[in-house]
Amino acid sequence: MGEPLRVGIVGLGNILGQYLEMFSALPDVTVVAVADLDAARAAAVASDLGATQGSAARAVTLEDLLAADDVDVVLNLTTPSAHARVALAAIAAGKPVYGEKPLAATMTEATEVMRAAEERGVDVLCAPDTVLGVGIQTARKAIDDGLIGEPIAATATMVTPGHEAWHPNPDFYYLPGGGPLMDMGPYYVTALVHLLGPVVSVVGVGSRSRSERTIASGPRAGQSFPVEVDTHVTGVLRHASGAVSTLVMSFDAVATAASHLEVHGTAGSLAVPDPNQFDGEVRLAPLGGDGFAPVTPSAGYVEAGRGIGLYDWAENRPRSARVSGEVGLHVLEIMESLLNSEGRTVDLVTTAERPDPVPLTMCR
Ligand SMILES: NC(=O)c1ccc[n+]([C@@H]2O[C@H](COP(=O)([O-])OP(=O)(O)OC[C@H]3O[C@@H](n4cnc5c(N)ncnc54)[C@H](O)[C@@H]3O)[C@@H](O)[C@H]2O)c1
């Protein structure tokens, strides 16, 4: 990569550990500053980093992190309602920003972020980067190599009874900006954009099974909290290529026997692993064959973890990023349009180029 990438992290909650684990395996990435609304949490994370990464990190305020000359890029791991606010502050400070999904809680906010970034000339990057792993990239290569013929359709299925079963503070999953589509949809919809290209229109229908949920674990176990979003969302995505994807995202159903993702073509069907993971087996059923058989991993970052998208951007600058804000904006418009559709076709105003494929690459 040349010069080490110096990262400032804002938002130090549940997901932070996965990023730090990946960065610890990448010698060219160093965390130099951390900030959180909870200053004690920031101090504890900075102190741990001093011990584990071999160089010190400072616990600072958001303002100080954005003003720091030694922060090359801001990693925004705050909750979705704060994504746009933190991104806009980073952009105003002239710093590129890589944010957790979704790009923002609403299209209005996300559009403002992208406009500000364009005016200031800084990059906006957006998770998920799981799509750069061996699972989705091997599936993509199988499609690009013609193993299923002409792609015609895909299905995406994510079913769980709800995150309150394990998350000690699950309220945000059931408020605007949450729900199964906004929370888990980014993995599936981003994967569909990588596999089949951009989407031109959607139709969606949603429902919710109950107006309250109960926390199952942690200090608030037994407490009820309100549900303000649809908790079962179904939809159909028409891709620019003509392919059609069907989506089921649910916090209301117990389990499914379906593959996370399937892509069907004129010459075969592909079972694609969980897009919320980097790895997993791709299986191909060729037309006239004996059913599904494994496809040898042939593309993507091997043994990657969250944060590989930031590394990929730094490695490939100034070429357009594979985990770009442009894709994040398109994915958010797809999701918001599904939620607003109420059974009517919604034509999309955004698009995104299908990101470049990732060759098989060791990253550790
Ligand atoms: N938890 C997971 O398993 C998981 C997995 C993948 C992605 N994500 C995504 O990661 C993001 C964070 O999720 P999480 O589970 O780590 O949340 P969390 O609630 O555990 O942590 C969020 C942290 O951000 C801080 N924060 C919020 N607003 C802030 C602001 N304005 N300035 C500074 N700090 C602020 C909070 O104090 C908190 O420490 C979300 O976008 C989520 O969708 C989470």
- Could you report the per-residue pLDDT of 73-109, keeping only the tens digit for each? 999 999 999 999 999 999 999 999 999 999 999 999 9
CA–centroid distance, 8 to ligand 1, in Å, is: 15
| pLDDT exceeds 70 at position 229 | yes
Instruction: Return the ligand 1 atom nearest residue 167 CA.
Output: 1
Instruction: Return the ligand 1 atom nearest residue 80 CA.
Output: 41
Q: Where are the beta strands (DSSP E) in 122-168?
A: 124-126, 151-159
Half-sphere exposure in the Cβ direction for 329 (13 Å, CA): 21
How far apart are the two ends of the chain, measured CA to CA in Å?
14
> How many Å is the Cα radius of gyration of the chain?
20
* Residues with Cβ within 8 Å of residue 157, at least 6 apart in sequence: 247, 248, 256, 258, 259, 260, 261
What average pLDDT score do residues 133-145 get?
98
Q: What is the pTM of this model?
A: 0.97
pLDDT recorded at residue 319? 80
Q: Across the chain, what does the average pLDDT equal?
A: 96
Whole-angstrom Cα distance, residue 335 to residue 190?
11
From 9, 12, 15, give the residue whose CB has the most ligand 1 atoms within 8 Å, as the site to mutate. 15
What average pLDDT score do residues 359-363 get?
95
- Is the distance from CB of 299 to CB of 360 less than 8 angstroms? yes
Whole-angstrom Cα distance, residue 339 to residue 330?
14
- Is the distance from CB of 124 to CB of 183 less than 8 angstroms? no
What would the pLDDT profile of 322-333 be if each residue is shown by its tens digit? 999 999 999 999
| pLDDT exceeds 60 at position 196 | yes
What average pLDDT score do residues 332-340 get?
98
92 ligand 1 Cβ < 6 A: no
What average pLDDT score do residues 247-271 get?
97
Q: Return the residue whose CA atom lies nearest to atom 5 of ligand 1.
A: 15
What would the pLDDT profile of 30-76 be if each residue is shown by its tens digit? 999 999 999 999 999 999 998 888 888 999 999 999 999 999 999 99
Whole-angstrom Cα distance, residue 329 to residue 335?
10
| pLDDT exceeds 80 at position 350 | yes
| pLDDT exceeds 60 at position 261 | yes
39 ligand 1 Cβ < 6 A: no
357 ligand 1 Cβ < 6 A: no
Helix (H) or strand (E) holding 19: helix 16-24
38 ligand 1 Cβ < 6 A: yes
pLDDT recorded at residue 55? 85
Beta-sheet strand order (sheet of 58-59): 58-59, 29-35, 5-10, 73-76, 97-99, 124-126
- Residue 218, sorted as left (phi over 0), alpha (psi -120 to 50) or beta, turns out to be left
15 ligand 1 Cβ < 6 A: yes
| pLDDT exceeds 60 at position 317 | yes
CA–centroid distance, 38 to ligand 1, in Å, is: 12
Q: How many residues does the chain have?
A: 364
What average pLDDT score do residues 317-345 get?
95
pLDDT recorded at residue 1? 57
pLDDT recorded at residue 22? 97
| pLDDT exceeds 60 at position 113 | yes
From 78, 158, 188, give the residue whose CB has the most ligand 1 atoms within 8 Å, as the site to mutate. 78
Q: Return the residue whose CA atom lies nearest to atom 44 of ligand 1.
A: 15
Residue 4: which pLDDT band, with cuts at 50, 70 and 90? confident
Residue 359: which pLDDT band, with cuts at 50, 70 and 90? very high
pLDDT recorded at residue 2? 64
pLDDT recorded at residue 53? 87
Whole-angstrom Cα distance, residue 326 to residue 346?
19
| pLDDT exceeds 80 at position 195 | yes
Whole-angstrom Cα distance, residue 310 to residue 98?
7
88 ligand 1 Cβ < 6 A: no
pLDDT recorded at residue 3? 77
Instruction: Return the ligand 1 atom nearest residue 86 CA.
Output: 31
- Is the distance from CB of 88 to CB of 112 less than 8 angstroms? yes
